[in-house]
Amino acid sequence: MNNIQKDVLLGALLGLIVCFLGTVIYIVIVLPIHSISETFAVLVRENLLTKVITLGALPNGLLFQFFIKKNQLYKARGVLMSVILIAVFFIIYNLI
- Of 23-37, 43-57, 71-85, where does mean pLDDT reach its minimum? 23-37
Q: The pTM is what?
A: 0.86
CB atoms within 10 A of CB 72: 16
> Distance between CA atoms of 15 and 19, rounded to whole angstroms?
6
- Is residue 39 within 8 Å of 33, Cβ to Cβ? yes
Domain count, the chain: 1
Host domain of residue 69: 3-95
Q: What pLDDT, in 10s, does the model give residues 55-96?
A: 888 999 999 999 999 999 999 999 999 999 999 998 898 888
> Would you give the distance in Å from CA 54 to the centre of its chain?
7
- Residue 18: pLDDT band (50, 70, 90) is very high
